[in-house]
Amino acid sequence: MSEDRDSPLGQIDDQAQALLDKATLELARDEVEGAMDDLREAISLIDKGLRPDLAAMAVAAYGTILCDLRRTAEALAVLRAFHEHYPGFDDHLLLAELNLLEGGLLIFSDRQDVAEARLESARREFFALGQDREALLASLSLALLYLLDGRRAPALRHLVEKSIEPLSRSRHLPAVARRPLSRFSAAVEDGTATAALAGALREYIATLQFPPDEEPSAATGGGGPTDDAKDRRRARP
């Protein structure tokens, strides 16, 4: 339930939203330190009753920056604090974003079972919601995890067949990504795929811009599931 904007909690939410908007603009200008300051301030409002979805947006944005800076322990601590404060958080899209972030952070840790659980949860949710870019990132993160393990060839082939290949045929996928994804699928099939290849492809996909009208923002709530998403909702692969 949204708070009255004139109430103390409503004012806290408005303050957090303004900080999120400012951080977004700063990141677009590569002003990372300024964005981090504003996101930290937004996160500090959690203790004052900040709305859970706004808190999740701030945590996801701040955690992503920490991840990019290789400050893994700090990012995991921020995620852990969020889940402790909001144990019943159930916004499917935002929770999937947090799971994708946490799973990616844990890939190279000794908690790969947790990484797999988080990434698989995120993959299935993004796939069902028609968030093709994020579903593909979660799938490639899982592929990286399986290749690092070295004993998950059947799981990897199943992932390619049920997730990566369907997503690579999405009409929303930038054309430049189709050939690299096809090559990766072929490499998995003939047993020559490597963790380095999966990691490089994941990083490449993360740099691509998907059509904004097909990728509704969690921050704006724009748009709705695409026709593809509605079809996929019948069964999560």
Token reading at 228: 């593809």
Question: Taking a C-beta distance cutoff of 8 angstroms, is the pair 100, 134 a contact?
Answer: yes
Token reading at 204: 């490449």
Per-residue pLDDT tens over the stretch 37-59: 999 999 999 988 899 999 999 99
Whichever domain contains 38, its CATH number is: 1.25.40
Q: Is there a single domain that holds both residue 86 and residue 106?
A: no
Per-residue pLDDT tens over the stretch 147-195: 999 888 999 999 999 999 999 998 888 999 999 999 999 999 999 999 9
Per-residue pLDDT tens over the stretch 214-229: 443 333 233 333 443 4
How many C-beta neighbours within 10 Å does residue 4 have?
Answer: 9
Taking 50 as the threshold, does the pLDDT of residue 230 lie above it?
A: no
| Count of domains for the chain | 2
Q: Is there a single domain that holds both residue 13 and residue 130?
A: no
Q: Is there a single domain that holds both residue 61 and residue 117?
A: no
Q: Is there a single domain that holds both residue 219 and residue 104?
A: yes
The residue with tokens 């004012």 is 11
Among the three residues 39, 74, 90, which one is the final residue of a domain in this structure?
Answer: 90
Give, in order, the Cα–Cα distances in Å from 133 to each of 24, 122, 151, 182, 194. 19, 12, 27, 16, 22
**34 contact partners, CB below 8 Å, separation of at least 6:** 23, 26
Burial class (CB in 10 A: 0-12, 13-18, 19+), 180: middle
The residue with tokens 């990434």 is 119
Q: Structural domain of residue 22, as residue ranges?
A: 1-90
Among the three residues 36, 62, 90, which one is the final residue of a domain in this structure?
Answer: 90
What is the pTM assigned to this prediction?
0.83
What's at 169, amino acid-wise? Answer: R
Q: How far apart are CA 236 and CA 163, in angstroms?
A: 10
Per residue, what are the HEC states of 38-81? HHHHHHHHHHHCCCHHHHHHHHHHHHHHHHHCCCHHHHHHHHHH
Q: Is there a single domain that holds both residue 41 and residue 118?
A: no
Among the three residues 74, 90, 106, which one is the final residue of a domain in this structure?
Answer: 90
Burial class (CB in 10 A: 0-12, 13-18, 19+), 164: buried
Which DSSP category does 2 fall into? P
Q: Is there a single domain that holds both residue 159 and residue 50?
A: no
Q: Is there a single domain that holds both residue 77 and residue 105?
A: no
What's at 61, amino acid-wise? Answer: A
Q: Is there a single domain that holds both residue 66 and residue 180?
A: no
9 band by pLDDT with thresholds 50, 70 and 90: confident
